[in-house]
A and B are shown apart, each in its own frame.
Chain A
């Protein structure tokens, strides 16, 4: 049994009467990348802030690095790296000064910080921007700088709240590479993201949150097996074909989902199903066959409707 680095039991967070996090349990092990997924307002950031010891839980038990955030928050924060969802870089300072002051807040020595800054800026590929005001950076560069800032104290646990939102594909891959690198170095990562491919790539285990609750938990592969089928066929039909095809499809599919622009057919064997459908006279305008992804799981668990 591995000692858990972060433990939540019956953890809740209320803002007034509103329950943002509702009685959740989780265990995060050393060295793993653990994901929190969920639609907007699910309570991911609220959970991150509690783990980051900057938001006292309303009820339940929380332990971070073996300590209680409500009494040993300062010690916990000294060993954490935090990449917040919102940009809170110091707009009055340059790139270098942002990292310097942040290191000073950790009571690091200046010489030590300077060495670290060189490494980190290289790590996020911002070396040339050392003396720029942060105002002048693009959104994606700011994001990378925030990641660098969160690593200044060589944390053993890093909380990343939507680390790659707003990044272009190249920058996302750069960040992914960096996060892999951290993981290889034994750093534990807690990640929230809206990109399912990101979660699938990065997370060893994850939970899906919805309206403050955890609705599923497991590795990406386990979740796909449990909540989806191996394959998905996405078919488009001419208007008159659709009604004729529907009953036949429902017979052969594990599950179907009728979307305005296409029909999703979930099955364990796409080739068999498409052959069978062709034999029975179902002719879609187009068919796309693919493997199930975490996105299918996510949409199944949290629905396609926007809440609110």
Chain B
């Protein structure tokens, strides 16, 4: 996804093969510690089993904003799918990048070579997008097993999850460029948890009073949820373009902020 978007960017922030080099570096690291990948994957799974299936028994049928009637588990699952993509992206684009930036000084070494700041920004964003995609795929397999999606739509949903992954990877990296100490990471939780709770994952936005709804719509995760819900239900309409547009826009802004601020931090 970012590769497609990259064509629109100004030349100095366009990715080259350099982005791939950084991904290879990360692969070498994760070859050794691949188990940690699983940790962040579990949370949405627990929610699906606990809230979706468990609470779903109690709630019964729900009706979406589009007027479709479905089981509560089927309603929650795509929201959790979006959340798992967000989780994967945020986990990978915040803590590890902060470590590489300020402690491992990885990027200082990288920049003593023909690699460019944009290679770092794009490479890391692609990489955390990959982690988002891995989480999403795992989650989709689970949804398939418990009968909450069928194959065709699941494939489409992966594309949606990649987009959500791009948005939050870019936003996460951009946020890291503002962080100075480990304490700043508490702020991430402060943002992520409300996003998770108030983005239409567990109930439609229509349960809120109408004056609150525009505020809820600021959340990129809301747009991701709506997109993936439509994908997994196979119900398409023009509003999906708007949802996708918001995700793309937030991601691009994140990428632009990242390239700019990273350049200032590293090349001073």
* B138 close to chain A: CB less than 8 A: no
Q: Which chain B residues numbered 31 to 71 have a C-beta less than 8 Å away from chain A?
A: none
- Would B112 and A77 count as touching, CB distance under 8 A? yes
Which range holds the interface residue count of chain B?
20 to 34
Interfacial chain B residues near A107, Cβ < 8 Å? 17-18, 21, 114
- Would A106 and B268 count as touching, CB distance under 8 A? no
Residue among A55, A77, A150 with the highest chain B CB neighbour number at 10 A: A77
> Which secondary structure characterizes the binding site on chain B?
helix
- Would B112 and A104 count as touching, CB distance under 8 A? no
- Would A78 and B113 count as touching, CB distance under 8 A? yes
- Would A93 and B114 count as touching, CB distance under 8 A? no
Residue among B110, B114, B268 with the highest chain A CB neighbour number at 10 A: B114
Interfacial chain B residues near A90, Cβ < 8 Å? 25, 104, 106, 109
- Would B115 and A91 count as touching, CB distance under 8 A? no
- Would B29 and A54 count as touching, CB distance under 8 A? no
Q: Which chain A residues numbered 92 to 111 have a C-beta less than 8 Å away from chain B?
A: 92-93, 97, 100-102, 104-107
- A106-B114 Cα distance, complex, nearest whole Å: 6
- Would A88 and B113 count as touching, CB distance under 8 A? no
- A101-B25 Cα distance, complex, nearest whole Å: 6
- A163-B116 Cα distance, complex, nearest whole Å: 25
- Measured CB to CB, the closest approach of chain A to B128, in angstroms, equals 16
Interfacial chain A residues near B111, Cβ < 8 Å? 54, 77
Please encode chain A, from 146 to 184, with 1 for each CB lying within 8 Å of some chain B CB and 0 for all others.
000110010000000000000000000000000000000
Interfacial chain A residues near B113, Cβ < 8 Å? 77-78, 102, 105-106, 153
Output the nearest chain A residue to B24 by Cβ-Cβ distance: A104
- Would B28 and A86 count as touching, CB distance under 8 A? no
- Measured CB to CB, the closest approach of chain B to A100, in angstroms, equals 8
**Given the interface contacts A101-B25, A104-B21, A107-B17, does A75 sit within 8 Å of B114 by beta carbon?**
yes
- A-side residues, CB < 8 A to B, are 15, 52, 54-56, 74-75, 77-78, 80, 82, 84, 86-93, 97, 100-102, 104-107, 149-150, 153
